[in-house]
Amino acid sequence: MDEFQCIEQFFNKNGSPINPLLSNGFFVGIGDDASVFKLENNPPIVVTSDILVEGVHFSSNIKPASLGNRVLAVNLSDLAAMGANPLGFTLGLGLNKLNYAWLNDFSEGLFGASRLYGCDLLGGDTIKHNSAFNFFSVTAIGYIDGGNALRRNGMKLDDDIWVSGDLGEPISALQLQKESKKLIQPIPKIALGRQLKNVATSSIDLSDGLSSDLRHLMRASFPKNLEDIFVELYFESLVKCLNRNMIKWFAGKKNNLELVFLALQGGDEYELCFSAPSEARSEIRAISEKLDIPLTLIGSVRKRVVEQNRNDEKNKNDGHLWLKSLTNSFDDKYIEKSGYAHF
């Protein structure tokens, strides 16, 4: 099988676009030098790129259908964090061999996600290499349906900090060699991002871990005065977010404080973490109910004064994160920057 046969067999669906917005006389999909589309109502276009490398971003044991779903879903999670709707994507395949059964399963997982989220394969590139690991490169394109994109940089002093869903399953599963639903099939929070677009002040998807990703919001929102603020996270609220499997798997081995610290550094969640003014609480709870997605208020952005320095100077370029017990069961604890770093 050569490159062209591989594309024809597994990736060229040759039908009408999945996304009805692309179904007009301008659409050019796979098979040319580039793809072409036109949006008649001219909304802002959103673009995001990710590389996934075997052994770094996914295990060599991952099932091909799960991987096909994953390479698209993690990019759509970035679109979700911006409040964007998926439109299409390009796929780069860097493979060390062309295996028919593997490609068949991979493309099934890929097009499953493509259909589920209305995101058309627009084109791409396939490369055979001699390395032991495979890599994938996806660029996803979306659009903003009215208004502006939801950014990382709008967090304000006194804002609430929220997180969707639960936390801790992926890192627990990796540590204990259990099965994690989120690792098998990460779910981009597209509908949630759309709803939050006009409510939240900043938003990010949790890929590296809450303690790391939340600091991205802080650095983007306070580029010149990061030292003037800190975020305090509520221990008891985070305990409510702990994944049930995580609690079960670690029963008798880790206490809640240890579980919360583990969950804070666990990546691959693909939940949304966002900030919003306290006036938006009822609206956010209504969104949670409407979409049937748990949204938990887990902290707030506070003014940092000299007395509060609490020996945290070493982290001054990262943003200050503290864990606070609302019931005063322990003194405030500094949360180190310990999210997984891919680089």
Stretch of 118-126, 156-164, 165-173, 181-189 lying at the interface with its own copies (CB under 8 A)? 118-126
What radius of gyration do the chain's Cα atoms show? 21
Distances (CA, A) of 227 to 304, 309, 310, 314: 7, 9, 13, 11
User: Are 192 and 204 a contacting pair, CB within 8 Å?
Assistant: no
Encoded one letter per residue, x for contact with its own copies by CB under 8 A and - for no contact, window 302-341 reads: ---------------------------------------x
Which residues make Cβ contacts (< 8 Å) with residue 188, sequence separation at least 6? 73, 74, 76, 77, 79, 80, 117, 205, 270
In whole angstroms, the minimum distance from the beta carbon of 59 to its own copies comes to 15
Determine, following the binding rule CB under 8 A, whether residue 155 of this chain makes contact with its own copies. Answer: no
Q: Which of 35, 107, 172, 265 binds its own copies (CB under 8 A)?
A: 35
Which residues make Cβ contacts (< 8 Å) with residue 234, sequence separation at least 6? 297, 298, 299, 324, 325, 326
In whole angstroms, the minimum distance from the beta carbon of 339 to its own copies comes to 12
Smallest CA-to-CA distance from 48 within 137, 181, 171, 145 is with 137
In whole angstroms, the minimum distance from the beta carbon of 214 to its own copies comes to 14
Widest pairwise Cα distance in the chain = 67
Q: Which of 47, 176, 286, 326 binds its own copies (CB under 8 A)?
A: 47
Nearer residue to its own copies within complex by CB, 45 or 257: 45
Determine, following the binding rule CB under 8 A, whether residue 270 of this chain makes contact with its own copies. Answer: no
The count of residues interacting with its own copies (CB under 8 A) is 68
Determine, following the binding rule CB under 8 A, whether residue 12 of this chain makes contact with its own copies. Answer: no
* Angle subtended at Cα 68 by Cα 292 and Cα 64, rounded to the nearest 5 degrees: 120
Smallest CA-to-CA distance from 140 within 154, 157, 122, 153 is with 122
Encoded one letter per residue, x for contact with its own copies by CB under 8 A and - for no contact, window 195-234 reads: --------xxx--------------x--------------
Q: Round to whole Å and give the CA distance between 221 and 225.
A: 9
Q: Round to whole Å and give the CA distance between 99 and 1.
A: 9
Stretch of 61-69, 102-110, 150-158, 292-300 lying at the interface with its own copies (CB under 8 A)? 150-158
Determine, following the binding rule CB under 8 A, whether residue 268 of this chain makes contact with its own copies. Answer: no
Take residue 208 and report the two structure tokens written for it: 């590296």
Stretch of 100-108, 130-138, 176-184, 279-287 lying at the interface with its own copies (CB under 8 A)? 130-138
Q: Which of 9, 16, 133, 176 binds its own copies (CB under 8 A)?
A: 133
Stretch of 34-42, 246-254, 274-282, 290-298 lying at the interface with its own copies (CB under 8 A)? 34-42
DSSP state of 292: T
Nearer residue to its own copies within complex by CB, 129 or 303: 129
SS3 63: coil
Site residues, its own copies (CB under 8 A): 2-3, 6, 26, 28, 31-40, 42-51, 53, 56, 78-79, 81-82, 84, 88, 90-92, 94, 98, 122-129, 131-133, 135, 137, 139-142, 144, 148-149, 151-153, 203-205, 220, 341-343
